[in-house]
Structure formats: C-alpha cells, structure tokens
Amino acid sequence: MADEKFQETLYKGWRTEYTCAEVYFDSETDHQRLIIFRNPDFGRMMMLDGITQTTEADEFIYHEMLAHVPILAHGAAKRVLIIGGGDGGMLREVLRHPTVEHCTMVEIDPSVVELSKEHLPNHSAGAFDDPRTNLVFADGAAFVKETTDRFDVMIVDSTDPIGPGEVLFEDTFYAAARNCLAPGGVLVTQNGVPFMQPDELRNTVAHLRNLFADASCYLATIPTYVGGPMALGWATDNPDLRNVDETVLEERFKKLGVKTHYYTPAVHKAAFALPGYISEIIG
C-alpha cells in the first residue's frame, strides 16, 4: 500500500518512522518478523522484528568499516569468519580482498539470505556464488563453540541483543570467538549506538578486555542507525594492529585497488579517536 508507514521500535522513548512506497515481503520466518520495503530516500530496506537492519542507500558505510578496517589492519588475512550478515553485504566487501582465500559465513535464518538475494541483490553482488564462500546455516554461538577451524579475522555482523542475536553478546560467545582466531587474529563486532545503547558497548568491551590483550571500539556514522555514531567493537592479542601507520594502510589499500565510498586509510585511523562520552562508557 502506497504511503504506508513502518516504525522502528528499538528504543522505548524514541520512534523512527519510514514511509513505505512499496512492500516486497512482510511475514514471519522461523526466527523473526522480516519486512523488506522501499523508502523514497533510502531505497529498499530490511527490518527484523521492527528494527532497521540495512538499506540500499547507506549499507556501504557499515559493511566497508566492519570489513576493511580489520582486514587491512591485519595485513595478511587469508581466512575470514562472518557471523550473521545474511544480506550478503559483508561477504561482498570481504571478498573484494584477493588475499582472502576462504570466507565462512554463518547465518541462523536461511530466509534472510534467500529474500536478500531476491530483493536486495546489490548487497551481495554475486558474493554467495564466489568459490571462496562457505555458507553455513546454523546458530553462530554454537558454531564458534564447536568449530576447529581458525580464522585471521572474525566479523560479528549481528542484530541487536534482542531475539536470535542476544547470545552473540554474552561472555561465553566472546570466549569461544577468541578460540576461533589464529594467532594475531582480529575480532570486530557490531555494538550499536553508544549514545542510545551505552550498556551494550560497555558490557562488550568489558568482556573483551578479560579475554584479549587489546580491546576497544571504533566508530562509523550511518544515517539509518540513529542517535549518533555506531560503535564497532575491536579485539586482538596484537596491540600493534590498532596502531598501524597510515602510510602502511595507504600502501595496502592502494594495492587492494578497489573503490570505496566511506572507507579511506585516514578514516580508518580517525575512527579509533573516541569522543569523551564514549571513552567514559568503555572506561
């Protein structure tokens, strides 16, 4: 129905309303209510259980920053693990790195992948068909606990800690995630908007600091994730990776030879400069 409205219901005292020009899918999957619709400003959008997940217009910011920051900081990542990310955007950005030889993606809800292929095809841009892709439909927390594989970079592209994504914010998950990393590996996570969700970031960084030699966060500003910049968690046992010189990042990025719309080596370095209120949250 033209001009239908969808409200995001993530916060108790604040609602964001999106005009819907066309609905492509609106139904319950085995795990959650999934809606894909078109907004005049953001293009096609996906909501899960009333929470905005991704849009055609601004997805590049989130996916570029969660993929390129850890991979270029690492400098020699060959094996990458993605937890979540069913729309395929994270997989697309990871596989833009020719040095990545293998990427396992673990998604709990097959419907997210299939509907994204159909209605948000530019997100994955063929990445699901890349021979380096190993797509696994499973609970991400169970996978990291049970797998014997080791990865250079692990990206937790999760929903908020509500419903299926809740277990991906627990200390037991982070401990299992650490065991999935090869020596010198990097873990990055989606940690919400600190201004609106300070406890989510505070708790995650506290868990990570108990497990890793270096744990913090970096920032990206994504229009549809309202309330300020989004925090992306960072953890590794190699503290040098957070401090890679910008000239080194520039060399690696130039060698990569891809065009990005948000990520640059300068933005990479600046993203770790935290405003005072976020530094106070993580302590």
Mind telling me the catalytic residues?
A: 157
Please name which of 15, 19, 25 lies closest in space to residue 3, comparing C-alpha atoms. Answer: 19
- Give the dihedral of Cα atoms 182, 232, 138, 147; nearest 10 deg: 10
Rounded to an integer, what distance in angstroms lies between the CA atom of residue 193 and that of residue 41?
Answer: 21
Helix (H) or strand (E) holding 71: helix 59-74
Neighbours of 144 (CB within 10 A): 26
Structure tokens at 69: 């920051």
Distinct helix (H) and strand (E) counts, the chain = 10, 13
Rounded to an integer, what distance in angstroms lies between the CA atom of residue 216 and that of residue 198?
Answer: 14
Tracing tokens 């990871």 back to the chain, one arrives at: 94
Rounded to an integer, what distance in angstroms lies between the CA atom of residue 255 and that of residue 78?
Answer: 16
Torsion 27-31-32-35 (CA) sign? negative
Residue 5: burial class (beta carbons within 10 Å; 0-12, 13-18, 19+) = exposed
Q: Is residue 60 a contact partner of residue 72, using CB atoms and an 8 Å limit?
A: no
Structure tokens at 54: 């991704």
